Structure formats: C-alpha cells, structure tokens
Structure 1
C-alpha cells in the first residue's frame, strides 16, 4: 500500500477532538483509529507496540549499524473542530493544471486566493469535496511515518533504534498530557505536522487559552431601567477593549494575536474563548496581563460580574532546546539529500513537539506536503508526501 493509499484510508476515520471533554482522549472515536494503527504496526513487524490512553507507541531495534542514537517520529490522530471531519470524501486531481479547483458547486480554490497552489502545478493533489476538512493535519503525517516504517522494515537499510507515536487531542492543546516518555526511549524526535517539506520548525508560539465568563441580570425589558445587566453586551464591550489589529487576519511572521475562538451569550450569561499567541515570552506575559486588566476594569464598572481564566497550553520550544541542534542538523542533511535547501520559519501555531521539548525531549517539526489546514480548502500533494517518506528514511540512515 502506498503513502497515497494510506492517507486516503486514514482520512475516512472521524477523529475530531473535543475541547469541552475532560476524558483522555477527549473523544472515543479517536480510539478507533488508534486501535487500527496499533494493529497495523503489529502486522508490519515492529518489535514492540503499545497503546496507552489513546496514544500508540511502536519501537524498532537497531539493525546493521553501530549507531546507538535513537530517533523518534510523532504525528497526531485528531482533526480540528472548525469544520466537520466526518464522511470525508477525498478527490484526486492528477497533474494539476494550475487553474481554479472547483470542489463543488459552491466552493472553489483560486490560486490567487490560495497561493500555495501556485507551487504545486503538475503535481497530483488530494482535495476535499468542499463539505468537510481533509485531515491532512495530521493524517498526512501518520501516512508518511507509516509508509517510511513499512519500507524501512522491509529493506536492508541500516538504522539505529526507532520509535514512533501517534497521539490524540493535539488540536485542543492536550496531545501529550498523558504521553509516557518511558514508552518512547529516544535521544530526540520530530513531529511530522507542518506543510512545506523543506522546512524545519523549531520556533513556535507561546500559547494560552483565555475563557471570559460573564454573569448578567435578566429582567423584562419593559421594566429594566437600572436593573438589567446584559451579559451579551458586556461580552461585546470586553472584545472591543482588546487591540483591534492584533488578530490573526492582520498579523504574520512573529506578530502575535488574540484570536476570538468562540462567543456565546444571552442576557443572563455570556462566554468568550480566546487563543493567545506570541513568540516572545515577554509579549506573551503582557497578553495575559491585558486580559486580566480588562476583566479588572469591567468588574469595577459592573460590580464583579466577570471571571477571566487563563490556561497555558504550550511554550516556544526554542527556549527549551538550549542550543542543542543535533536534530535540526540531521534533518537539514536529509532535506539537502532530497534536493532542497532547508528553511527555518517561526511557526504560527504549535505542535506536540513544543510540549515534548519543554518536558526534555527535543522535538522539532517537519512538513507533510499538505496545506490550508483546518478547513474545506485543505489539499495534499502526493509527490511531496512521497518525498517526505524518503526524507524520514534518510534521517534514520545509520
């Protein structure tokens, strides 16, 4: 089975995570794919395969080499919540002609609007039917790892110890909360969870989630003077007090943002959920202080009706690598061997690798050849996924 076939099979699994759930994993449907991957790893011939709390671990002993440097690869099974991941119907476009792709009668991808399409002309693409996301984030990563491992096991290529892991709940910032480092005995690892395959990412956002809970007073509007407190209006006021240009649609590069993920409310109660993102740790601290300061000012104005709760999600992995770039240099060598010049860009997001690095396991991020993640405009390049399989195998050469 090819990487293309594996990918198409994996995206058939509905694996969306649920931020409101307190279980590990957050949704039972992720366990269905975890069980399938566990069985696939066992059939493939790994020396050890374990599933714990929704994470699948598989391990290969060294073969034909004196190298004892153990290397790991990680990808996540869940998909984002912005749009449905159920009943995904991938379509294959052979030898893409560079023109607008019509996903269905309503939705199309124009290269001028989605410039990543301009870089994949004449490549075979996998796209959605316009009704769901595709799941390239991160089932392309899973397919690449599984294909690379299958080819490695059935080849004579020497390699040191290898571990792979497939995690749940990355999209809700809880992908490695239950990750057992004892089941992943490596010197360093890589997440395969980006887009462009010439990139090695080791600078991520610092990230937090802020939940603003507002209590109002509901009363008949005809008798409301000096008595009603409309929580929905307070939510609007809170949002208006944040920096108007520090939002995802107006920032790039290392510029951080406040992302209003959701807003719900009525007169009696309202809730805002924000994602806070900054590369610079001091600016990140200022973001969290800004949220609390606005809450303080509005509580003074409205008699303590607002509660702001902030939960840190992950940190900039670069700060926890402490200058150890062995993993980066090894990936650079493999990318050059594949005929490309490696690039390093600040990630406008995060990966399981950010949290693993903070816990002591250095884990930069590599690409998948899939683009426009978290929506109906996702697509994956088949030749890029194939090249990424070769890069993974090249990293492991002993």
Structure 2
C-alpha cells in the first residue's frame, strides 16, 4: 500500500460535497478515476425515479484467474452539514474543525477500495474479477440500492455475489453478517370533534384513544433480536376543540419478519381494545422498508475474511447488528454480504473522525483477501 497516496485521495474526496441526491460531481470524479485505473463502467439510472442527480456505479476490473470474483461496495452520499468540509490530519486522526461532518462515512470506505485496487494492479497480483458498486442516497433510505435496475445490467457486468461492504463504524476486524428487517408503521386514530368547554362529552378525543393504545403496546427492546420505536405523534387542534384525528408513526425491527408481523398484530389488538373502550376508529398501515440481511452460506464467507484479519494479527469479531444498510437491499438480489469496519467514529455528527491506522488495516485486509483468491 501507499499510505500517503491513500490519504491524499481520501482528503481530496472529503472536500467534494456529496449530500444525498446531490452526489453527481463526486460520481463523475469516481468514474473518471476508475476509467484511468482500467475499469469497465456501467452506470445505473435509477436516480431518475427519485429525483437524484447521480447514477449508481458498477466498475469492473477484469481478473486473470477464473472464478466468481468479489464485489467491494460503499456509498457516495454524506450526512449534512458537510458543505465546505475541510479535512484536518492530526496524528492518527482525520477530522474537521467541528462545524461540519467529515464524510468518512463512507468516503473512508471508498478510499480503502481505491487503494486496494491500485495496490493489486501495481504489484501485478493475479486476481479474479473485482467489481466495485457505489450507490447514492444510502443515508436517506438506501434509495440508490432500492432503485437499481438489476435486469438491465449486462451479464458480463453483473457483480459477484460475495460482497464486502466497506461501511461499518468502529475498528477494522469487525465483520457484520446479519442485520434486521425494518417495517415502518403508521396508525391514524379517528375520534369525534366537539367543543371542549361547552360539550366535551359529545366528542371522542383521538389523542386519548391513541394514548390508551400506546400504553398497551410493547415498545423499545422487545427481545434479543426485535425492537420497536414510536417516533412521532401528530394532532394539532385549538385547546377548545376535542381533537378528532391523531396519527402516530414508528418502526419495528427484527431479524425475523414473521416476528415483526406478530408485533403488528399485537399493536392491532391494543388499538382494538382502545376503540372498544373509548370509541372512535383507527387505520393501521405498514410497509417493509428493507428486508433481513443474513448469510446464505452458513457464515463461510464471513469466517474466511475473519481468517484474513487474524493472519494480519488483527483481532476479528463476527457481529449481528441492529441497523440497516445497502446490504439489506442487495440481499434481495442474492448477494452474500459482509460489512467491515473502517475506523469511523461519531458518524453523522460534527464530531466525526476517522482513525488512519484502522483505515490502513482495512485496506491491507482487502488486499490480502484478494491475493488469496
């Protein structure tokens, strides 16, 4: 590896503003760089469906060894405030002046991928096909991954099924292999308006109906692999009007979609009890935001990468995580993903920083994995 080249590339990328739906300039930078590195390029235009300005990028670096190869994946968008971010290298840390996010999530991952491929090519290391998949809008609901037009990708450009997503917070050595599905829920309670001061008994307070239902719902940590959260309650009426509408929004996550549906049925039961006791009605809507991520090879791929870390004297840890990422969406297409740490800390805040030695370890592990074929 060339440490200084990696850092120069990372700093240059960190100073290209690429918030969600506005990654276009950064995507052009990456496409030009990959072409200079000898990649074949395919650009997916799913962004036209949700109003973004950047394609998802597939870059293929053809190998000289037969086999399925590997896919390295990351996302191009960063969390605001990030405009005019200036990267500061302070010893082993890359940070900003504290007024913006750094964007190491996930430009640190992209820098590791770029340096990995440069190293492989410079050292003339024999390798199978290497695919790079970079998406926009991961931070606002994985829109790039969700709108990938997979059926339009030419057969010779379709990425390898084993996918390493370089987008995990924390140190190198962390290998996430499973993540939950998330369902969004909305419950609208319908009551009856009345004058709150003159004849409140003629009304049905929708907030009260919602409150009773909520008090009988299991919210928070439900079991080891299931969580629920109510994040919004909306009902805006003058104080002299009994409110007739109250809407609540939230989510349920679990590593079992059947378990999520069980929780939804329990929520319906709580709502039924509430309207039976207090009157009114309700309508509960739900939809799957993303599916479960789980290994489809009995952890063989994850354990192979753990062995690479151990050979480099980097302690490894296989993890089940509670958040979602592009990996959950790619799982629908049959990709077998692991998500590895790259040294990010305090992500999504202006205190974000990246540990350089962890970034280097991640890059070294990627090179070694590809060397092993």
Query: Which category describes the TM-score, using the shorter chain as reference length?
Result: 0.7 to 0.9
The corresponding residue for 2:236 is: 266
- 8 A Cα contact 1:214 1:306, kept in partner: yes
Q: Return the offset for 1:382.
A: 1.3
- 8 A Cα contact 2:102 2:353, kept in partner: yes
The corresponding residue for 2:255 is: 279
How big is the alpha-carbon RMSD for the aligned residues of Structure 1 and Structure 2?
3.0
Q: Give the alignment of 1:233-248 within 5 angstroms.
A: 235-246=210-221
Evaluate the alpha carbon distance shift between residue 385 and residue 313 of structure 1 in structure 2; reply closer, same or farther with a 3 A threshold. Answer: same
Q: Return the offset for 1:282.
A: 4.7
Number of aligned positions between the proteins: 348
- 113, 117, 126: which one pairs with 1:149? 117
For 1:361 and 1:238, locate their aligned partners in 2 and report how far apart those are by CA, in whole Å. Answer: 40
- 8 A Cα contact 2:213 2:273, kept in partner: no
Unaligned runs of 5+ in 2: 47-54, 238-242
- 20, 28, 31: which one pairs with 2:24? 31
Q: Return the offset for 1:73.
A: 0.9
Evaluate the alpha carbon distance shift between residue 258 and residue 61 of structure 1 in structure 2; reply closer, same or farther with a 3 A threshold. Answer: same
Unaligned runs of 5+ in 1: 18-26, 96-123
Q: Give the alignment of 1:1-398 within 5 angstroms.
A: 2-17=5-20, 27=21, 29-53=22-46, 54-63=55-64, 66-80=65-79, 84-87=80-83, 89-90=85-86, 92=88, 94-95=90-91, 124-171=92-139, 172-181=141-150, 182=153, 183-195=157-169, 196-215=171-190, 221-223=196-198, 225-228=200-203, 231=206, 235-246=210-221, 254-267=224-237, 269-301=245-277, 303-318=279-294, 321-323=296-298, 325-397=299-371, 398=373
For 1:86 and 1:220, locate their aligned partners in 2 and report how far apart those are by CA, in whole Å. Answer: 49
If the length of structure 1 is used for normalisation, what is the TM-score? 0.76
The corresponding residue for 1:104 is: none
Structure index of larger Rg: 2
- 8 A Cα contact 1:232 1:266, kept in partner: no
Q: Return the offset for 1:131.
A: 4.0
- 8 A Cα contact 2:61 2:130, kept in partner: yes
If the length of structure 2 is used for normalisation, what is the TM-score? 0.80
Bigger shift: 33-42 or 2-11?
2-11
Q: Identify, as 1 or 2, the structure richer in strand.
A: 2
SS in 1 for 2:283: strand
- 8 A Cα contact 1:14 1:85, kept in partner: no
Q: Return the offset for 1:352.
A: 1.6
